[in-house]
Structure 1
Amino acid sequence: MKVQTPDWVKHAVFYQIFPDRFAKADPPSGCYIPTATEFEPWTSPPTPQGYKGGNLWGVIEKLDYLQDLGITAIYLTPIFQSACNHRYHTHDYYQIDPILGGNEAFAALLDRAHAREIKVVIDGVFNHASRGFYFFNDILENGPHSPWLDWFRIEKWPLSAYDGDRPANYVSWVGNRALPQFNHDNPEVREYIMQVGEHWIRQGIDGWRLDVPFEVKTPGFWVEFRDRIKALNPEAYIVGEVWKDAAQWLDGRQFDAVMNYEFTGPTIAYVAGDRVIRELVEFHDYDPYPALNAEEYGQKILELLNLYPWEIQLAQLNLLDSHDTPRMVTLASEDLPSLKLAALLKMTFPGAPCIYYGDEVGLNGGHDPDCRKTFPEPSEWNRDLHKMYQDLIALRHHYPALRTGNYEILLAQDSLYAFLRTLTDAEDVIIAINAGEQPEQLTLDPLCPNPKTLELKYGDRTTAQSLTSQGTTISFELPPRSGCILANP
């Protein structure tokens, strides 16, 4: 069958927001947000259960900032009513959490983001709910007399929803009794989730990021979900959280893409090398170690690009870190050049780059909850890093080849990696990386029709000063731990 993914995703730059930690603002007059004297101080270290009080009105106030950065799409981690700061414990799939501003704030966010041509994708937690979810709560109250027993997988009685010294007696996600798992084989459950998906598409969201979709084993479930979502909006984006080979879900009948951790791991292993702090990632399901040289990295990239159809590759969600992982800069022993090189590779790779909030200003963090710190005040920003992100995003928007052009490796040797993105005979963009500790002279034969017109668009002026061409060959110098972009005017 012909594989088709949303066109807008191929040109998008995403920004992932953890709503409790990104921004907060007072609601407009007449709009109510529950306030608490026990919200944690905004600048104090985050805790597993404490709220900072971030809200969607705060996100709205930051839209100008995001637009100035070059962002064209937002991915929001869960926003439905819940009793936890990350909101993966859903209470009500039809209500935006009141602490975030409720349905009114979300409607305003959609309107104002769309007015800036910024798309909004939200998190769908459809594998499990919470102890506070109406149908499960009814079971806790009424036991075997509840009419909703078959919505979940009850094993025996009595249920123990809170006492860890006794068996829970119901199936929950990874054994966490706070997250009772749906019985997706039940047609009523299936229809409920389908209608939730449709409802928010009708409200104007631009897609769904699906949490742990590989846990849903019911045959045809995600096929139906796609069919019903695409019937309402063929350009809606459906992206799954699958950390490894996702070919079984990327067959053109289910997801448009996945969170591309298969890009994340090798990229960090190449640019950060032995700087990677292994104890920060050894329990995560991606591979930023052992260190890779350029040849090994190139082989990983070729394997990845051969894994899925090109139409899928152009819609993949490419990331360096997320709310589920340590921040990349911390993972790389706080080495900023590692982050900069990885950002360069991400912004020039096929697929949609996604920035985890705060990465662009140097926000660091280790294990959860440390990777979910609040967005820092401007006085604490790394301005050089912010400008780098702004420049790279602008170049991605400017050159179509960086979005949909072919990807060809030109050099992969020792610490040096270079590749060509080309869309037409008239547009060639070369990206080169020196991940080593010494300056290096590169000589490339990209077979460009006009190599003499290539100019430095990003990188050190040493590279611009050393750039020469002879026939179809170009030569230039790369300082240590640096990268560049060369392109036609």
Structure 2
Amino acid sequence: MLREAIYHRPTNNFAYAYTKEELHLYLRTKKGDVDQIELIHGDPYHFEKKSGWQYEKSPMTCSGTDALFDYWFTSVKPPYRRLRYGFKLTDSQESIVYGEKGFLDEPTSEDMGFYFAFPFLNGIDVFTPPEWVKDTVWYQIFPERFGNGDPSLNPEGTVPWRSEEPKVDNFFGGDFEGIIQHLDYLVELGITGIYMTPIFKAYSNHKYDTIDYYEIDPQFGDKETFKKLVDTCHEKGIRVMLDAVFNHSGYYFPAFQDVLENGEDSIYQDWFHTREFPLQEEPHPNYDTFAFEKSMPKLNTENPEVKDYLLGVARYWVEEFDIDGWRLDVANEVDHQFWREFRSVVKSAKKDAYILGEIWHDSMPWLEGDQFDAVMNYPFTEASLNYFAKEKMNALEFSDELTKVLHMYPDNVNEVQFNLLGSHDTPRILTESKEDKDKVKQLFLFQLSFIGTPCIYYGDEIAMTGDHDPGCRKCMIWEEEDQDREMFTFVQKLIQLRKDIPVFGNHGDFRVLHADPEQNTLIYKKSNADTTLLFILNPTDSSRSIPIPEAYQDLKGTDVWSGDTLDLSNSTTLEPYQFQIIHY
């Protein structure tokens, strides 16, 4: 065995409390290097005079494999909520024991310090994201482009709906009333949560340059209309999540304008990260900003006054308007202490509010139970697009990436991870798929059957196109003759399956069973104690004969998509872009 590849740490995604009684433990080894692993575990205070520390052994299962590693998993319920543990690894040639101090040939009953420790399972430390998120299907709305319900609010220079292509600076007059008028459309689709990009007073059409965090942008309506929107959503079973930009303000934020005017004499100079005075914007700002965008000065969230202001914002919109969550823009550039206090404020206002961070990379430091509930799952997004849409990745490479995605975080984080395929920051999925709608259907099938909470970007369900920003921010198409209703019905049916069959969505384990790098076909299963679903996908433009895993050969099942009863033998033949979802 390659000892250098054997890895565990008694924290984060390798050892954590899944419930108040149950611990989840993971171990990583070199791919194909180990035949069997047993967990050696016992209470740290359970000793016998003659035989020393008392332990037992429990088998671990291989929970996934990627290009380099195997991952092994087991759960254990310590009777006294504390645990010492190690791992016994066996291959065809040797057996070794792995603990915090390294390796031994045999387990030791004398040196307790050799083993890993989970000192005590304290209930308050259990990561408990909101339960409702697990069964939510989100819909992202860019308010300026979703619906113009009250033309009297149109900003100066507003152009007629869909009269021209989206630009970085044009306005079409989208507003809250336009969203309210189309909520029944979302109910028909099966949506149970909407995430809106910023609604606060701002200069731009995207509103990520906030002027006043306590005021709604007048082009969207007033607070009374917003309250009506939230209340109507709740009546229809739809949660509401707002977008907060606490990393930076807008150029016309009054505090920043004061610094521009008064320089070092401004009472707000420490609200921002200024390097010298007077402030200059060209060729690069001499103050910190989002990227190098001069109109988005970075806020100093370590300043007590800034912190009080922003935490007041966080509480205000929850308490006054009963919103259900916050999506946090550029969350990785804000200090961790601010987010800890932010969580405390938000959860005290609404215990089951959802806190979602926008982070595009490994986010474990933010997902330890004291800051966010989840992050936007861009590793999932990238892998899915590269396999199904762009054909940059074969089935085996895709399977490897999924293993990494599912082992990056604890299971109770994965269950509420925000799984998106596109957004206001990315090209639309039909454009990414070179306008091949069969590829988009495969993407939707996978997204809506994966672990996590899925989000559909407005218009993708009716096959809208659009390249990078601003192309991906077109006006929503409301003329039914211009919508792809067949795509709408396809997505609607997937969402209904997710609701009708719990294991289809978040209430079952995910495991890839077959990933053929040559044929590029994929089989994965979703299963729990009661139900198994086998997903067989042919995301290629050729007919494929796909071998059925041995454990499922000669079994009778029902294709929940077509309703057909199937007797699977050694293989099944699927036409291009066809799939089967077999219910056993």
Q: TM-score, normalised by structure 1?
A: 0.89
Deviation per residue, 1:196-235 (Å, 9 max, x gap)? 111111120100000011111x342211111221122221
Establish whether residue 113 from structure 1 lines up as the match of residue 247 from structure 2: no
1:388 equivalent in structure 2: 490
- Contact map agreement 1:468 1:476 (CA 8 A) in 2: no
- Higher RCO (CA-CA < 8 Å; seq separation 6+): 1
Answer with 201-210 or 129-138: which moved more.
129-138
2:87 equivalent in structure 1: none
2:340 equivalent in structure 1: 223
**Residue 40 (structure 1) shift:** 2.2
1:399 aligns with one of 488, 501, 520: 501
Instruction: Give the letter aligned to residue 381 of structure 2.
Output: T
1:278 equivalent in structure 2: none
- Contact map agreement 2:360 2:378 (CA 8 A) in 1: yes
- Contact map agreement 1:432 1:484 (CA 8 A) in 2: yes
Establish whether residue 375 from structure 1 lines up as the match of residue 476 from structure 2: yes
CA distance in 1, matches of 2:442, 2:364: 28
CA distance in 2, matches of 1:96, 1:135: 18
CA distance in 1, matches of 2:529, 2:496: 20
**Residue 36 (structure 1) shift:** 4.0
- Contact map agreement 2:548 2:568 (CA 8 A) in 1: no
Higher helix share: 1
- Partner SS state of residue 458, structure 1: coil
**Residue 249 (structure 1) shift:** 1.1
**Residue 446 (structure 1) shift:** 7.5
Instruction: Give the letter aligned to residue 218 of structure 2.
Output: P
2:271 equivalent in structure 1: 151
2:527 equivalent in structure 1: 422
Instruction: Give the letter aligned to residue 418 of structure 1.
Output: I
Answer with 46-55 or 140-149: which moved more.
140-149
Change (3 A) 1:97 1:353: same
- Contact map agreement 2:153 2:173 (CA 8 A) in 1: no
1:441 aligns with one of 530, 545, 557: 545
CA distance in 1, matches of 2:186, 2:577: 28
Aligned residues: 454
Q: TM-score, normalised by structure 2?
A: 0.75
- Equivalent positions of 1:165-244 (< 5 A) are 168-202=285-319, 203-216=321-334, 218-244=335-361
Instruction: Give the letter aligned to residue 227 of structure 2.
Output: A
- Partner SS state of residue 240, structure 2: strand
- Partner SS state of residue 248, structure 1: helix
Higher strand share: 2
1:304 equivalent in structure 2: 405
CA distance in 2, matches of 1:37, 1:147: 34
Instruction: Give the letter aligned to residue 255 of structure 2.
Output: F
- Contact map agreement 1:428 1:448 (CA 8 A) in 2: no
Higher radius of gyration, 1 or 2: 2
**Residue 175 (structure 1) shift:** 1.4
Unmatched 5+ stretches in structure 1: 28-32, 275-290
Deviation per residue, 1:376-429 (Å, 9 max, x gap)? 12221111111110110110111111222111212111311111111222x222
Establish whether residue 267 from structure 1 lines up as the match of residue 381 from structure 2: no
Establish whether residue 257 from structure 1 lines up as the match of residue 374 from structure 2: yes
Instruction: Give the letter aligned to residue 383 of structure 1.
Output: R
Establish whether residue 248 from structure 1 lines up as the match of residue 360 from structure 2: no
CA distance in 2, matches of 1:257, 1:119: 16
**Residue 115 (structure 1) shift:** 0.5
- Contact map agreement 1:410 1:444 (CA 8 A) in 2: no
* Aligned residues with identical type, % of pairs: 39
1:476 aligns with one of 572, 579, 582: 572
**Residue 140 (structure 1) shift:** 2.3
Alpha-carbon RMSD across the aligned residues, in angstroms, is 1.9
Instruction: Give the letter aligned to residue 191 of structure 1.
Output: D
Instruction: Give the letter aligned to residue 121 of structure 1.
Output: M
- Partner SS state of residue 385, structure 1: helix
2:251 equivalent in structure 1: 131
Answer with 196-205 or 355-364: which moved more.
196-205
Instruction: Give the letter aligned to residue 247 of structure 2.
Output: N
CA distance in 2, matches of 1:341, 1:192: 45
Change (3 A) 1:392 1:446: farther
